[in-house]
Structure 1
Amino acid sequence: MERENQTEADNFILLGFTDDPDLQSLLFGLLLAMYLVTVLGNLLIILAVISDSHLHMPMYFLLSNLSLADIGFTSTTIPKALRNIHTHSKGITFAGCISQVYFFVLFGCQDNLLLTVMAYDRFLAICHPLHYVVIMNPRLCLLMALGSWLVSVLGSLPETLTVLRLSFCTKLKIPHFFCDLPEVLKLACSDTLINNVVVYTVTIILGVFPLSGILFSYSQIFSSILRISSAEGKYKAFSTCGSHLLVVSLFYGTGLGVYLSSAATPSSRMGLMASVLYTMLTPMLNPFIYSLRNRDIKVALGRVLSKMVPLSESVEAHLS
């Protein structure tokens, strides 16, 4: 089939959640609240790590990178969804759709890789505590963080660039609130074999392999914890990785839920709601999980907030 003229078919239609005006108003308020909480919570984590010298450690440095990736992950999809609901528009340009695909894959890969690096950090801290400071030095920590960003940036290109070779049918309706790559590929009129091969290859390299590393790290961690004789020692060792384990479970649990729901009932409302959990709930809850379970983070956040309150009061007084 001949390729559509790009100027004639450069708009996709994001069907979103619902056409009911009352539900759209409720949905707009809910999404906006969740987005603001996500951005504010993760920004506070980043500010706390930067401003408090007690948090200048590998674990917290990696956590600040995870918060940055979560802000980018959420900002890739939600602002456009909010704009479409507010303007009662469902369109997105071809360039905008491709950009969403790229950055969604980029920040998703970055979350995945950072969680893997953080699992390695916890593995060293629990299984090799005497060598931890030597192995997990600032230089290695910085290189691993930069490496994860570089791999994510480059690893997202093949999936995105191969979309550009496709021709699309005239009915460019995506049953989603953002340009999800599998849904975009379903609209192609040309052969998507190469695209599917690229998607599966990237998923294995940047998804399955890192997950395998996380599972191996935690198998060693649990093995080490079980060898500790005292209950207090076991609790202390487990508490150092409890927050990360909870975040990993949430990230992969919701991601797996999206995959299973879409495989069982393609383009269903269940898959759409599962995607909300994956794209919104996990980035929003991460700051709460780490701050509520970590005394150092809570103390640092208290200092940041105490500095912000007098600053806001002085600005108010100056304006008045």
Structure 2
Amino acid sequence: MLFPDYRPRRMRSSEALRRMVRETALSVNDFILPLFAIDGKAVKNPIEAMPGNYQLSVDNLVKVARQAYGMGIPGVILFGIPSKKDPLGTQAYARDGIVQRAVKAVKDKVPEMVVITDVCLCEYTDHGHCGFVDGHTVDNDATLDLLAKAALSHANAGADMVAPSDMMDGRVAEIRAVLDENDYSRIPIMSYAAKYCSAYYGPFREAAQSAPKFGDRRTYQMDPANAREAIREVTMDVEEGADIIMVKPALAYLDIICRIRDEVDLPLAAYNVSGEFSMIKAAEKMGWIDGQKVMMETLTAIKRAGADMILTYFAMEAAALMDR
């Protein structure tokens, strides 16, 4: 029997050889850990749909941030659950808002950690939408000022980076202008540039208590069927001043990550969202999959597709496994 000159199995015969030719190297440096801040003290509310994740009071959130940094995870992204909500989401940009207090506490106790803040209104509005609502319509342009105020309040609190997730047109330019005008030109923007209107966000809406009270978010988040539009969205955000661009969700949109990686040379983030996390956890609980192996395969796939950084609820679990 004749074989071709190239025999791939030659390089698969031992773990050492497989490591030597491995094309994608997943690192703890790739991870950003999402955390949910809530009012109170010594609060650790389990998020039923996201096993191992919690709504945390600031004191407990600081403990988790310190532990994550000790494991080598370089950054966290903070989401807030306010004690009160209103039509304008005023707690999103309040000086003593929950995220603002969490930022200050983490930067005080874990100063080396990169603290990123999610800039949106959905957790803070009583209607659950990501902007100013006129009737049943989200008013894009009226929302921009509120988002910029929120971003500025986060910078004032000490955030290292802001991450607008609302998907309003023009919000990156508005935030960049307001930050620059207030001597925060050094603060980078991580833009949720290609954020799809996805069913994978379900568990997050329990965690952040942010489900819309009417309608849905299809008028401002992207249609899951569209790919070329993602390139246009990303290009706009780059032109408006984004420093990092993001694709959300990640696993069902690996093709989008790959296409954007080929088109844009800025750092590229991908959000391994709550539904992706929870499906793996549920299947693991049922004994249908090896959860740890599927977790690592999933994170490697996101990195292989072109992501430079991964926002993931698996961050600490994966970091612990990689440290073995």
TM-score greater than 0.5 by the shorter chain: no
Between Structure 1 and Structure 2, whose CA radius of gyration is higher? 1
The structure in which a higher percent of residues are helix is 1
TM-score bucket (shorter structure) = under 0.3
TM-score by length of 1: 0.25
Give the structure with the larger strand fraction.
Answer: 2
TM-score, normalization by structure 2: 0.25
